[in-house]
Amino acid sequence: MKQSNLKYPCLIAVLYFGMNVNAQVTQDSAKVQKIDEVVMIGYGSRKKVDNTTSISSISADEVTKTKVLNASQAIQGKAAGVQVIASDAPGSTPTVMIRGLGTVLGGRTPLYVVDGMFTDNINNINSNDILTYDILKDAAALAIYGNRAANGVIIITTKSGRGKLSVSYDGLVGFRTPLKTIKMANGSEFANYNNAGKASNYLNPNQPYDTDWFKEITRTGIYNQHNLSISGSSEVAKYFLSLSNYDEQSILKGTNYNRTTVRTNNEFRITKGIRLAQTLSATFTNDTPKSYGAFTNAYKQSPLVPVYYPNGKYGQPIYNKTTGNIDYEGGRFNNVGNPVMQLAYDNQRGRNFLLQGGLKLDIDIYKDLKFTSQFSGEYGNYKYYNFVNSKSFWLDSDPMRTENQYSATSPLTRLTNKSQNYFNWLLNNYLTYTKKIENHDIEVVVGTEASVKNGLETLIINRKDVPVSKDYWNLSGVDYYGNLYSDSDTKALESIKGNRNTTISYFGRFQYKFMNRYLLSGTIRRDGSSQFAAGNKWGTFPSFGAGWVISEESFMKDGFFDLLKLRGGWGKIGNQNVPLNYLPLSMGATYNYAFGSSPVSNGVTVNKGYDPGLGWEVTEESSLGLDFGILDKRLTGTFDIYNRKTKNLILGVVPYMATGISDLNYSHMGSVVNKGAEVSLNWADKVGEDFTYSIGANYSYNKNKLASIDLSKPVSQIVGGNLGNGQDTKLFNANAVGYALGSFYLWEADGYDANGNLKFKDLNGNGVTGSADPGDRRFFDSYIPKSTLGVNISMSYKDWDFALSGYGAFGFKVYNGKKAQRNGGENVEASVANDFWTPTNTNAANPVNPANIPIASTFYLESGDYFRINNISVGYTFKNLTDYVKSIKLYVSAINPFVFQKYSGYSSELSGYNPTDPTAEGDPYKRAGVELDAYPTLRSFVFGVNLNF
């Protein structure tokens, strides 16, 4: 929300943000920005130079420079210490890690504070509406948010009106293609490879079909975005209205995504000293998701299989046992379906409506005392369906099947309808007292906050035998009771009300500045949360920070350093993002049983452990930083180091196997340490009057380590990174201490044996190797990058401007899951089919076609290091064309044009995002870092225009 308590210099900064949203960086305004930059610190703002904590502030211009759906993806590489792992799947949420990963359970996302409202996901926010994007990084800054701040906080404020009435329009159109493609084996290479594995010529190498499945399921993606905003202000009111539409047809055939947002932000000056600000945004999203297993199937399906047989039916991997040719009947040489057929039958649609809004009242009680009361709410509604044409799919799965063979008791079609809604609200009240006495500057904030997250209410209905046409699914007068469908894992009708989550908080902050150079600040917050059992609900989170603006000292003033500031702090923050802690009864379909011919009886049991002592997960951090500016502030930079320890790490764990409890519960299990450093440097200068440029780079290093595990707890281990074929690639147990979270746990490949199969090292020296000896597995690197690098260059010459940004991540590994998932008969990469072990080629790069499922080993573990040019854009602005048109800018932008990566797969940026399992994204013990069913990274070319009236 707007902090109208700004002093005059800060007002300039606000005006700067406004005017330069769609314009170039000029030298003078850049200077103004650096002196009087203001950062949002939560329940207030502060001048950057007076701030004692580590906050990265990203301008609105930077947030919109890369044209993507979610603003968090656009800031990749622009802030030191902030790691973004993005997925280009439409509608996906990027994983944001601030100063390392400190927690393992669900709730790894940083807290987004959007106009004061707490939210987890900013997919609904139109990037063009963002005025400030501030990332609070260290605990001294985060402690004001207490119980939700352990993963970092991102404060976003949306635009409000200023100045004269102005209208601006932004439009763009872009084309998307995969950034990297993999060359797969062709028909004869495939046949030879498989024949070699079976030592028989069961497949004929000369076949009429040679299908490139990846090409068959993808298309050139196209997306466009239109944004119109009107803003202005007068004596008594400021107004802002924006409308936008984002539409994408992504590369996987049939995946479409459309988002429309309407936003109105107004501020009313009711009387002198009383201001009311209102924000309201409505977002409508409509998308047709598809299962990303299509990519894996396209990778695995043989090129010998045609998309369609000559008689028009979908091709299947069936071969004639005598001739070895693809045929209508015979044996099946692999278990992979026809990817084009699976996409064609994948019929899903989701519609989302999200309403966010708030009211903020500021009252100036005395000259120095201000009272603020803020109420914000969020309402979301989601509708989804999934239609399966079961009979048709069954018939098409085998060309020899006929209609009368279809079982009379199987459903003809199946339809799932899901409807969800929720409402969250937040109310806070606080007093701000500012006083300046001679050389002393004091600001004190004291307040309370109450927040309620009502549980998600869900209604799911599964029906069968509905007509194929969507128009006839919801007919009037029809009793659908007879159409309800359930089986061993589908329930006919589910109605779920999620548990409620409430919090009360009390917080206070004081900030003190002495002689414009000595800074001291402290915060304290006390939170009570409903998630924990009695006795564990409350936690206190203090912090303090100190700073010294050395350049203001008499001995330094007007010296070499324009700005030299030292700052440091310590703080304690918490994480309460666990499900409600209680012992539930387990019931439902999997506990029901039908005795004889009786109808199904209900069963109930207790299938969960319970730890009543579960409380907050607490992170403590100490940090130190240095800001400097030299050479007339043309070269500026910051340097930070930090040490974060997350004690009483909460993990979902399952008790010992013999207890028979199969559902997990949460318990405090250990501690995680993140230590690191961040450096950022920026050089901005101008040559002559017309040419200005700036070059910036930031580098961060973070070492993540599981420091300890509580061995007294009766817990089993977490096995993760499952490949769906019985192999797991990650492990969390007592032996994982000392390694990073999410480290891969694999056998170590060591050349080939006499038959050309992979050989493995015998690490425990017992003479047994490979899958027979699990003791030979050990930990390797994690998928979490150890260091990241961001590079941002911008130049402007007269009316031209140019920008380039790049991002790289280093020091991590990824697992090529799709290559390792073989069950037999699948396709391989061309490099494998042409270079595998044979008795005459024993030094090949790949083993012989394996007869068994390959075990999880380092053979499939590759370095994930990459550096990618994220964005190159060139633009030209026509200024002051007529009285009405202030400026027209035309620009061309390339997103992800080049990547330098060591990994042989599509992309080493793997967040684990899975549309069917929203909790999987970013979970270190699911598929993050494993390339399986992952959406490839896309390269886009964008043409756009900005018009300002």
Partner 1 sequence: MNKKYIIAAAFLILGAVNQSCSNDFIDVSPTEAIPEGALGEIYNNDAGANSLVTAIYAKFLDWNMSTFAWIGVTSIVSDDADKGSSASDSGSDKDILDALTFTPSTPSFKELFASNYQGINRCNQALKYLPQLDKADPQLRERLTGEAKFLRAFMYFTLVRSFGGVPLVDHVPVTGVEADKLMTLTRKSKEEIYAFIEKDLKDAAAVLPSGTGGQRATKGAAHALLAKVYLYQKKWQLAVDETNQVTGYSLTPVFQDIYKVSGENNAESIFEINGSGGTAGRAIQQYSQVQGARGTTGWGWGFATPTQGLYDAYSATDSRRDATIIHRDMTLYDGYYVGPNTENKFYNYKAYSSNYRDQASTDVNIRYLRYAEVLLIRAEAMNELGQTSAAVPFLNQVRNRANIGNTPASSQADVRSDIWKQRRLELAFEHDRWFDLVRTGQAQAAMAADGGKVFKVGKHELFPLPQDFIMESGGLSAQNPGY
In the complex, the smallest distance separating the C-beta of residue 648 from partner 1, rounded to whole angstroms, is 16
In the complex, the smallest distance separating the C-beta of residue 774 from partner 1, rounded to whole angstroms, is 4
Q: What are phi and psi of 434, to 5 degrees?
A: -120, 135
591 vs 607: CA distance, rounded Å: 10
Of the two residues 12 and 504, which places its CB atom closer to partner 1 in the complex?
Answer: 504
In the complex, the smallest distance separating the C-beta of residue 825 from partner 1, rounded to whole angstroms, is 5
**Three-state SS for 679?**
strand
CB of 691 within 8 A of CB of 795?
yes
Q: Report the DSSP pairing between strands 82-85 and 153-158.
A: unpaired
823 vs 852: CA distance, rounded Å: 7
CA distances from 250 to 76, 247, 607, 854, 872 (A): 21, 10, 43, 33, 21
In the complex, the smallest distance separating the C-beta of residue 491 from partner 1, rounded to whole angstroms, is 11
In the complex, the smallest distance separating the C-beta of residue 753 from partner 1, rounded to whole angstroms, is 15
Cα angle 36, 42, 45 (rounded to 5 degrees) comes to 20
Cα angle 680, 693, 900 (rounded to 5 degrees) comes to 60
Of the two residues 284 and 582, which places its CB atom closer to partner 1 in the complex?
Answer: 582
Of the two residues 504 and 920, which places its CB atom closer to partner 1 in the complex?
Answer: 504
Of the two residues 333 and 913, which places its CB atom closer to partner 1 in the complex?
Answer: 333
In the complex, the smallest distance separating the C-beta of residue 587 from partner 1, rounded to whole angstroms, is 8
Of the two residues 662 and 916, which places its CB atom closer to partner 1 in the complex?
Answer: 662
Of the two residues 347 and 735, which places its CB atom closer to partner 1 in the complex?
Answer: 735
Dihedral angle at the C-alpha atoms of 897, 902, 907, 908, nearest 10 degrees?
-120
477 vs 768: CA distance, rounded Å: 69
Of the two residues 512 and 591, which places its CB atom closer to partner 1 in the complex?
Answer: 591
Of 157, 118, 385, nearest to 265 by C-alpha is 157
766 vs 855: CA distance, rounded Å: 19
CB of 189 within 8 A of CB of 834?
yes
Strand partners, 245: 226, 260
Of the two residues 475 and 585, which places its CB atom closer to partner 1 in the complex?
Answer: 585
In the complex, the smallest distance separating the C-beta of residue 484 from partner 1, rounded to whole angstroms, is 7
Of 150, 156, 135, nearest to 678 by C-alpha is 135
Eight-state DSSP code of residue 471? G
Q: Cβ-count burial of 943 within 10 angstroms (0-12 exposed, 13-18 middle, 19+ buried)? A: middle
762 vs 776: CA distance, rounded Å: 6
In the complex, the smallest distance separating the C-beta of residue 330 from partner 1, rounded to whole angstroms, is 6
Of the two residues 188 and 716, which places its CB atom closer to partner 1 in the complex?
Answer: 716
In the complex, the smallest distance separating the C-beta of residue 563 from partner 1, rounded to whole angstroms, is 39
CB of 222 within 8 A of CB of 209?
no
Of the two residues 136 and 445, which places its CB atom closer to partner 1 in the complex?
Answer: 445
Of 648, 634, 626, 727, nearest to 684 by C-alpha is 634
In the complex, the smallest distance separating the C-beta of residue 364 from partner 1, rounded to whole angstroms, is 9
In the complex, the smallest distance separating the C-beta of residue 104 from partner 1, rounded to whole angstroms, is 19
Of the two residues 436 and 497, which places its CB atom closer to partner 1 in the complex?
Answer: 497
In the complex, the smallest distance separating the C-beta of residue 787 from partner 1, rounded to whole angstroms, is 33
Of the two residues 10 and 456, which places its CB atom closer to partner 1 in the complex?
Answer: 456
Of the two residues 75 and 718, which places its CB atom closer to partner 1 in the complex?
Answer: 718
Residues 6+ positions from 487 with CB-CB distance below 8 Å: none
In the complex, the smallest distance separating the C-beta of residue 297 from partner 1, rounded to whole angstroms, is 16
**Three-state SS for 555?**
coil
Dihedral angle at the C-alpha atoms of 821, 822, 823, 827, nearest 10 degrees?
140
Question: What number of other Cβ atoms are within 10 A of residue 523's Cβ?
Answer: 29
Euclidean distance between the first and final Cα of the chain, in Å? Answer: 26
Of the two residues 161 and 609, which places its CB atom closer to partner 1 in the complex?
Answer: 609
927 vs 943: CA distance, rounded Å: 35
Containing H/E element for 339?
helix 339-345
What angle, 0 to 180 degrees and rounded to 10, lies between the N-to-C axes of helices 8-19 and 27-36?
140
Of the two residues 205 and 584, which places its CB atom closer to partner 1 in the complex?
Answer: 584
CB of 617 within 8 A of CB of 646?
yes
Of the two residues 481 and 884, which places its CB atom closer to partner 1 in the complex?
Answer: 481
Structure tokens at 242: 């924006």
Give the CA radius of gyration of the chain: 30
In the complex, the smallest distance separating the C-beta of residue 419 from partner 1, rounded to whole angstroms, is 17
In the complex, the smallest distance separating the C-beta of residue 406 from partner 1, rounded to whole angstroms, is 9
213 vs 197: CA distance, rounded Å: 23
In the complex, the smallest distance separating the C-beta of residue 403 from partner 1, rounded to whole angstroms, is 14
Of the two residues 9 and 774, which places its CB atom closer to partner 1 in the complex?
Answer: 774
Structure tokens at 62: 């930077």
In the complex, the smallest distance separating the C-beta of residue 201 from partner 1, rounded to whole angstroms, is 14
Q: Report the DSSP pairing between strands 347-364 and 369-388.
A: antiparallel
Of the two residues 286 and 486, which places its CB atom closer to partner 1 in the complex?
Answer: 486
In the complex, the smallest distance separating the C-beta of residue 718 from partner 1, rounded to whole angstroms, is 11
Structure tokens at 614: 């579960």
Q: Report the DSSP pairing between strands 153-158 and 111-114.
A: parallel
- DSSP labels for 360-386? EEEEE-SSSEEEEEEEEEEEEEEEEEE
746 vs 751: CA distance, rounded Å: 15
Torsion over CA: 332, 333, 336, 337 (sign): negative
